[in-house]
């Protein structure tokens, strides 16, 4: 049985918009498009096939990318910690599934560890990114972020 994969990454960065609403945001505070666009560009620089532009959800942004012959999705949200724009970026890796697969919870199954490692290779060398922590979903959702690791 393969080891479990840490599929949630949290990090700090002041390089991206955390407070200015854009006219195209679905909801107030739906920041993260610039983080997603930066990651898409960096994935492309590594030869990874990714969506040309991120998509928007009512809570954040997402894009698809391919590693190990599988399409994965990265969902990005910002969790503010104060009114000065400080907070934590959170990325959740899922598998891209069709409607039926999504309805039956298949987005959380079959995530390749290479997806996390590929994203980590970008985040970990960027001077714009600090305090990278990789989490197992079950411990993150229970609020045990202190159990995160510095690498996937």
Mean pLDDT in order along the chain per 10 residues (152 residues): 79 94 92 97 97 94 95 95 83 74 53 94 97 94 93 94
d(C-alpha 137, C-alpha 135), whole Å: 6
* Closest by CA position to 88, among listed 39, 142, 147, 35: 35
Give 9's Cβ-side CA count (13 Å radius). 27
**pTM strictly above 0.75:** yes
Instruction: Say what the pLDDT of residue 3 is.
Output: 56
Instruction: Say what the pLDDT of residue 102 is.
Output: 45
Instruction: Say what the pLDDT of residue 103 is.
Output: 47
Tell me, letter by letter, the H, E, C secondary structure of the chain: CCCCCCCEEEEECCCCCCCCCCCCCCCCCCCCHHHHHHHHHHHHHCCCCECCCCEECCCCEEEEEEECCEEEEEEEEEEECCCCCCEEEEEEEEECCCHHHHHCCHHHCCCCHHHHHHHHHHHCCCCCCEEEEEECHHHHHCCCHHHCECCC
């Amino acid at each position: 049985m393969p080891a479990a994969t840490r599929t949630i990454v949290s990090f700090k960065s002041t390089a991206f918009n955390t407070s200015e609403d854009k006219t195209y945001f679905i909801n107030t505070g739906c920041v993260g498009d610039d983080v997603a666009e930066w990651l898409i560009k960096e994935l492309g620089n590594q030869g990874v096939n990714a969506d040309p532009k991120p998509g928007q959800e009512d809570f954040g942004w997402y894009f698809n990318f391919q590693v190990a012959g599988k399409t994965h999705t990265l969902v990005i949200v910002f969790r503010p910690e104060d009114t000065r724009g400080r907070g934590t970026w959170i990325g959740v890796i899922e598998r891209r599934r069709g409607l039926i697969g999504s309805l039956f919870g298949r987005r959380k199954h079959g995530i390749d560890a290479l997806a996390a490692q590929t994203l980590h290779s970008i985040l970990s060398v960027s001077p714009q990114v600090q305090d990278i922590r990789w989490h197992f979903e079950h411990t993150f959702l229970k609020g045990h972020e202190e159990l995160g690791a510095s690498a996937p």
